[in-house]
Amino acid sequence: MPKPFKTDQSQKQFQIAQEHLVGGVNSPVRAFKSVGGTPIFFARGKGPYLIDVDGNRYLDLVGSWGPLILGHADTAVLNLVRRTLRKGFTFGAPSTLETQLAILVKKAFPSIEKVRFVSSGTESVLSVLRLARAATRKKRIIKFDGCYHGHGDSLLVAAGSGAATLGLPDSPGVPEEFTSLTLSLPYNDLASVESAFSKYNDIAAVIVEPVAGNMGLVPPKQGFLQGLRDLTSKNQALLIFDEVMTGFRVAFGGAQELYGIKPDLTTLGKILGGGMPVGAYGGRGDLMAQVAPEGPVYQAGTLSGNPVAMAAGIATLKQLADRVFYRQLEENAAFVEEGVTRAIPKTGVSAVFQRVGSMATLFFCPRAVKNYAQAKDCNRKKYASFFWAMARRGVYIPPSQFEAWFFSGALAKEHLKKILKSIEDSLKETAG
């Protein structure tokens, strides 16, 4: 049986937070609307563990939604951040740390010839779409249902993730004129993209999560990404990989390394900042040369290239450059996948476990999920019950069916065995 599980302090802190913060949180999915109950307030993290304000300890499969691939409070990251902090928090001016991180990014992503750092994934996507439209002198953008590219106005169309969790596929306050130039098509449906290009001659770019992580983990079908590459090249449009989530996650060089596809432009975030708020966009040199101050496409940010954030990113990427890390991470994630796949038939629950690298999702569906419509058909009530059953057993998973799980390198075999046992027991509890 799970050990005693208390949430008294989380409940108290949530009541106080609601008096001062919108909904008591600073990002919608943290409100636990999808799973019910009181949001868990955390006090600290170390290695594979999170500890909440009630003293409950969890093996963490969220990792701050992806960036903590090394686990919490990694020693090397903390040490470099501390040394950097002593020199100052921010300069609003160039530092050598920006160049050092840029070199590491280019080493990982051969498609990136030049890079621009920003402060968030949303900012990187807004900037790269402006660049794509300027470079092609075209207006329309193709995205895919359930793929989330930040909360920019023109992209809140069938955006998955937090919007799906709240049952708000679009957002009030976004004029229809802002989204009229965005075509949202079914993920993994190459025919719909081909049809769009035959209908419109003003498509500037296709932006895609090469491995979808904001409708839960949904892999690309064989040939889907290569088809996008072929169609964009044929129609003088740009291919943008949104690797905010997959960059340095599914491989050191992201999904483009894993699948052997070279996009024109790439957005990055999450792991790039080692737990600090960092985003970036980059790509072909001729395209990036159009960004100010080299070119006329304007984009700026006072905290872009912040030295503390750059330091965290450098300390993280230097460790990830050792490819042995990814082999071990793959082995560990595969160990869990194999165990869950064996366990599901024993529990009487209709579920499927989907994984790419160290990203995964357990869907409460009878068959593999290939797009957003199928993800929405999964049993979210079952997932909510499963979430709390896992929490009571000391494993923290995303409080939404539409978010990916993330494995970290801090998880050892004994941790993985506990996670597997917790999953099987929680599935049995959910079935009953």
- Residues with a catalytic annotation lie at 148, 242, 270
Return left, alpha or beta for 305; rule: phi > 0 is left, psi -120 to 50 is alpha, else beta: left
Residue type, 373: A
CA dist., res. 140 & res. 11, Å (int)? 46
The residues with which 153 forms a beta bridge, in sequence order, are none
Report how far Cα 249 is from the mean position of its chain's Cα atoms: 9
Helices 75-85 and 307-320: angle between axes, nearest 10 degrees:
150
The beta strand positions in 37-181, using DSSP E, are 42-46, 49-52, 57-60, 114-118, 140-144
User: How far, CA to CA in Å, does 167 sit from each of 85, 148, 170?
Assistant: 41, 14, 9
Instruction: Kindly tell me the number of DSSP H helices and DSSP E strands found in the chain.
Output: 15, 14
State how far the alpha carbon of 301 is from the alpha carbons of 61, 117, 118, 274, 362, in Å.
32, 9, 7, 20, 38
Answer whether 79's CB lies under 8 Å from 95's CB. no
Helix (H) or strand (E) holding 30: none
Token couple for 389: 């059953």
Alpha carbon separation from 186 to 146, 204, 280, 367 (Å, rounded): 8, 18, 26, 18
Distance CA 327, CA 409 (A): 10
